[in-house]
């Protein structure tokens, strides 16, 4: 399955607290994504929480965008990526 880097900008900041409620919100996003064949692997968030970079496995960029629309998350850019292992190059 293709892997994508999804860039998102949050005007008010990504407000998922490190709490039971925040964990529940993440589970809901993951479950909603699954309905579109999207698996949220992990994310990186800027220090000010205004930008996130999410790694997702999905059948297509369109599936990523449909899942984002269903969960109410913004999408700035969807880029197909592959792993570059720095130890592969000797």
CATH number of the domain residue 42 falls in: 3.30.70.3090
pLDDT of residue 90: 62
pTM, whole model, 2 decimals? 0.87
The count of structural domains within the chain is: 1
* Banded pLDDT at 89 (limits 50, 70, 90): low
In a domain, 12, yes or no: yes
In a domain, 61, yes or no: yes
In a domain, 17, yes or no: yes
Which structural domain, as residue segments, surrounds residue 31?
3-81
In a domain, 75, yes or no: yes
* Banded pLDDT at 5 (limits 50, 70, 90): very high
pLDDT single digits (tens) 19-41: 899 899 889 999 999 999 999 99
In a domain, 89, yes or no: no
- Reference 4, options 60, 75, 45; nearest CA is 60
Span of 21-25, 55-59, 71-75 with lowest mean pLDDT: 21-25
In a domain, 88, yes or no: no
In a domain, 37, yes or no: yes
- Reference 66, options 76, 77, 75; nearest CA is 75
């Amino acid at each position: 399955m293709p892997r994508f880097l999804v860039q998102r900008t949050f005007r008010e900041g990504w407000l998922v607290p490190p709490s039971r409620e925040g964990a529940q919100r993440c589970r809901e996003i993951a479950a909603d994504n699954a309905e579109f064949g999207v698996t949220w692997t992990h994310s990186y968030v800027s220090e000010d929480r205004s930008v996130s970079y999410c790694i997702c496995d999905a059948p297509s960029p369109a599936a990523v965008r449909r899942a984002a629309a269903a969960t109410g998350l913004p999408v700035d850019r969807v880029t197909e990526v592959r792993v570059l292992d720095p130890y592969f190059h000797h």
